[in-house]
Amino acid sequence: MIYTVTLNPALDKTVEIPSFTTDGVNRITSIRTDPGGKGINVSKVVAALGSTSRALGILGGSTGQMISEALSGLNMTCDFLPVEGNTRINLKVVDPIAHTSTEINEPGVPVDPATLQSLLDHLLKLLRHDDIVVLAGSLPVNAPADTYRVWGDACREKGAKVILDSDGAGMVEGVKAKPFLIKPNSEELSHLMGRALDSQQELTAAARELLQTGVQKVIVSMGSRGMLHVLPEQTIFVPGLRVPVKDTVGAGDAVIAALAVAEERGLTLEETLRLSTAAGAASVMCTGTQAASLETIQQLMEQVTYREL
């Protein structure tokens, strides 16, 4: 079973503004809203891939109700705790002329320690050996910096495989729990290691250092250049696919979803590389944080190439 955890979800509002400028008047040409937050995004793509997941998290107010209603028709089990206040709204400004995407994210509602502990206790009661737990996204504003470390340790003790995708303190502390897999981008990996990592060789070396600490797989995203899959026995480079880009937000979440599904299904390494790369590429072809269609992902899988370094 795949479980996703979203402690700081959001309603993602994506607007398209050609030739977007600051300090001036901009006119929106299209708008869409999607239930969001990294864990929720992962669950949406898991559903698109034909698998099921249980999405856990925290929702509040009318915004939280909108997210819950939007998710109700998808192939997932929603398991959210209600909290005081309104779940945040994040604004994504896409400029199709300049090919840019600007994110304006609210901090989110405060969550008390008792609520976090209650949600963790609930998750631990559900977990079985070899279940997959995706801890993804930012933490609530007042959550302890070591939240993902605490959750990761607890899930690992239950025999679950933890996939961690966060940044800042969430990643720095979370990696101490020796997660099964992490997926930093090049900037996040540089921050995690405390030094600039400018080349593919430097990124690979840093990822191998993390393997020595107990992390089993490090997937490094390099944007349009592709991904590095750094595994104990080998390192594989997968070039990015050339596709028309509409919106890059959510692409990393799609990769995580594909990696989780691949692990759950016991796919081969080649199948995992193809599925995760195609899922990420298909995501950028969509507006907002909607999940790409399975048909599009399957078509792109045939175009994936890779080589061992």
Average of per-residue pLDDT across 184-188: 94
Q: How many domains does the chain have?
A: 1
Q: What digits encode the pLDDT tens for the residues 134-152? A: 999 999 988 999 999 999 9
Q: Residue 153 catalytic?
A: no
Q: Which one of 12, 131, 165, 253 is the catalytic residue?
A: 253
Q: Which structural domain, as residue segments, surrounds residue 301?
A: 2-308
Q: What digits encode the pLDDT tens for the residues 57-76? A: 999 999 999 999 999 888 89
Rounded mean pLDDT of the chain? 95
CA separation for the pair 35, 71 (Å, rounded):
7
- pLDDT grade for 269, boundaries at 50, 70 and 90: very high
- Neighbour count for residue 299 (Cβ, 10 Å): 12
Residue 15 identity? V
Contact call for residues 12 and 33 (beta carbons, < 8 A): yes
What distances in angstroms separate CA 69 from CA 63, 72, 131, 296, one per listed residue?
Answer: 10, 5, 26, 26
CA separation for the pair 283, 163 (Å, rounded):
20
Q: What digits encode the pLDDT tens for the residues 220-247? A: 999 889 999 999 999 999 999 999 988 8
CATH of the domain at 290: 3.40.1190.20
Helix and strand totals (H; E) in the chain: 10, 14
Structure tokens given for 108: 């989110």
Whole-prediction pTM: 0.94
Contact call for residues 273 and 211 (beta carbons, < 8 A): no
Contacts of 159 (CB under 8 A, 6+ apart): 127, 128, 129, 130, 131
- Output the pLDDT for position 281: 97
Q: What digits encode the pLDDT tens for the residues 254-264? A: 999 999 999 99
